[in-house]
Amino acid sequence: MVGKKVKLRVIFLSIFLATIILSIILILKSLEDEIVYFISPTEIKSLVELNKKKIRVGGMVKEGSVKANSDSINFIITDYKNEIMVSYSGAIPNLFAEGKGVVAEGILKDRNFLISKKILAKHDENYIPPEVKEALGAK
């Protein structure tokens, strides 16, 4: 016969394992929903289908492309191979400038147009996000 103590221990262990497995499943499940992919303008052009998921687009702000009006800022992100127009509403980081690296987060309207609500702030004037560097280097 199985003693009471052993029984208790088995119950305890199984609860413990179940909790761990459940939490891991939960974490991974939420992770799947909440990750944001980083894509370069060139990769956007070759996307098969567009969905309403948030993405990040990185590259350089094209010289002479920044236009501001009262509620949004429009500019073009380029990886010197392909370009994408961005319409951005929100506050801009200080290091946002023409000819500098930028990462914009938003939703694609079509393959040429991104509606963005967030520009990532990087605080070093010579800093190029590694993703951008790679996107640029791949040309």
Give the interface with other proteins as residue ranges (CB under 8 A).
19, 23, 26-28, 30-31, 33-38, 54, 56, 66, 68-73, 89-95, 97-98, 121-125, 127, 129-131
Smallest gap from Cβ 12 to other proteins, in A, equals 10
CB atoms within 10 A of CB 3: 8
Residue placing its CB nearer to other proteins in the complex, 43 or 85: 43
Smallest gap from Cβ 129 to other proteins, in A, equals 7
Residue placing its CB nearer to other proteins in the complex, 1 or 28: 28
Tell me phi and psi for residue 28, to 5 degrees: -65, -35
Strand partners, 74: 67, 87
Query: CB–CB of 56/37 below 8 Å?
Result: yes
Residue placing its CB nearer to other proteins in the complex, 49 or 124: 124
Residue placing its CB nearer to other proteins in the complex, 35 or 48: 35
Smallest gap from Cβ 20 to other proteins, in A, equals 9
Sign of CA dihedral 132, 98, 79, 35: positive
Counting beta carbons within 10 angstroms of the beta carbon of residue 104, is it exposed (0 to 12), middle (13 to 18) or buried (19 or more)?
buried
DSSP state of 48: S
Only one residue has tokens 């499943």, namely 25
Smallest gap from Cβ 112 to other proteins, in A, equals 21
